Amino acid sequence: MKAAVIGLGYVGLPLAVEMALAGVEVIGIDIMKDKVKNVNAGKSYIDDVPQDILKRVVKEKKLWATTDFSALKKADAVSICVPTPLRKTKDPDISYILAAVEEIAKYLHKGQLIILESTTYPGTTDECVLPRLEQCGLEVGKDFFLAFSPERVDPGNKVFQTKNTPKVIGGITPACTKRAVELYGRVFEKIIQVSSTKCAEMVKLLENTFRSVNIGMVNEMALMCDKLRLDVWEVIDAAATKPFGFMPFYPGPGLGGHCIPIDPHYLSWKLKALNYYAKFIEIAGEINSKMPEFVVEKLVLAFNEKAMPVKNAKILILGVAYKRNVNDLRESPALDVMELLKKRGAVVSYHDPFIPEIHEGHLKLKSIELTKKAISGFDCVVIVTDHSSFDYKQICDSARMVMDTRNATKKVKTNTPILKL
């Protein structure tokens, strides 16, 4: 059995490694030469892929990488794990998927299985992928097989990783589903079959829309508690004691990562084409996108109360990754907070043990060393990402003022003023 994985990023590389561990010979394909070089050298650039495991499967010749799509000739199965970003207009950009499908079409052969994993809107597989592959003269479900299986990667999760996260699969035909299950059943501990590719596509969007809407609701609760002079964290903790009918979500400075801030817009866009306005999705997106502004406005008010201008104030952003304990900067709310502070004239620095440098837009910064002396030199420390490696007691005791957007200082006793979200 030989399988190809197109796209060796946060989704593709872990999948390729798990396939190799399951005894499948894997060809990794990526247009980025650096990724291909690192894979072939056994060097992991993804936190969730242990370097010793990658080295082992490469050494055993179970996995090798290339930029040459002609390697697809040798593949019995192909998994597409390419990015699906949003355009500035919030429209889905499936150009990476279409480019991958064009390459697959050049080398499509009888018996080949194609599985799309990239998150996209319902209907992409049968409306965009299938017609191009059928142009090759082969019949789906008979000559070749096509399915959708949504990625469910949660970077940094130590409990649920690629292998033990249940895998949803939906094929164009029952035969397509069967073939995809035969392959992925060797790799994943549990397979969930659904009736169609469109259903499988919708499953992924429901999962992340559920999180987006609930985070939007609790972020609005934080705004309301601020108006009412209530501690939103105390309210949530008390509500979470209810043993039924309540699931705690927590507010923050905004949404980050490649899934939750983006995926719901795929569903909203698709529904607009059907003359349906997805109100919950749009409202949640609006609230979540405004949280960085709320953080900065609250900080400005705190400075005003101290008769200090934000202009020229030295502010340290603590943590810039989009979530704790990962090196992923994609869509991080820290970037928006930093940009907004710089626009107000603040002198912004940051520290993040996972992100040594930032080169995003107008932000060209390096992570500073976090020492007591360095912390004491700032007018305020803003905790944006609550990495577990931070010594919050030491940080608070060394700082002049702290703004905590993650409730990371919940158990810290200090004389330093702490602002909560």
Do residues 354 and 321 lie in contact, with contact meaning Cβ atoms separated by under 8 Å? yes
pLDDT of res. 260:
84
**Residue ranges of the chain whose pLDDT lies below 50:** none
pLDDT of res. 273:
87
Q: Where are the domains of the chain?
A: 2-199, 290-420
Closest CA to 12 of 93, 112, 118, 96: 118
What is the CB neighbour count within 10 angstroms for residue 343? 10
Per-residue pLDDT tens digits for 380-419: 999 999 999 999 999 999 999 999 999 999 999 999 999 9
How far, in Å, are 249, 280, 287, 354, 401 from residue 323 at the CA level? 14, 24, 19, 11, 23
Classified as helix, coil or strand, 266 is: helix
Sign of CA dihedral 405, 282, 215, 218: positive
Q: How many residues does the chain have?
A: 421
Domains 2-199 and 290-420 share a fold: yes
Do residues 350 and 317 lie in contact, with contact meaning Cβ atoms separated by under 8 Å? yes
Structure tokens at 348: 């912004």
pLDDT of res. 89:
77
Closest CA to 396 of 329, 318, 305, 289: 318
Closest CA to 147 of 180, 174, 122, 120: 180
* 81 classed as catalytic: no
What is the CB neighbour count within 10 angstroms for residue 1? 14
- The phi and psi torsions of 92 (rounded to 5 degrees) equal -65, 140
Exposure pattern of 191-206 as b/e (b: 16+ CB <10 Å)?
bebbebbbebbbbbbe
How far, in Å, are 23, 65, 164, 195 from residue 186 at the CA level? 8, 21, 12, 21
pLDDT of res. 327:
92
The answer to whether the pTM exceeds 0.75 is: yes
Do residues 147 and 168 lie in contact, with contact meaning Cβ atoms separated by under 8 Å? no
CATH number of the structural domain 2-199? 3.40.50.720
Single out the catalytic residue among 176, 259, 380, 396.
259
How far, in Å, are 65, 76, 179, 186, 267 from residue 26 at the CA level? 8, 10, 17, 13, 32
Report d(CA 351, CA 366) in Å as an integer. Answer: 8
Closest CA to 390 of 352, 364, 341, 416: 352
Report d(CA 78, CA 149) in Å as an integer. Answer: 12
Do residues 190 and 257 lie in contact, with contact meaning Cβ atoms separated by under 8 Å? no
How far, in Å, are 156, 371, 390, 415 from residue 324 at the CA level? 8, 20, 10, 26
Structure tokens at 30: 């990526």
Please classify residue 351 by burial: count the beta carbons closer than 10 Å to its beta carbon, then call 0-12 exposed, 13-18 middle and 19+ buried: buried
pLDDT of res. 303:
96
Which CATH code, of 3.40.50.720, 2.60.120.200, 3.40.50.300, 3.40.50.10540, is assigned to 290-420? 3.40.50.720
pLDDT of res. 213:
96
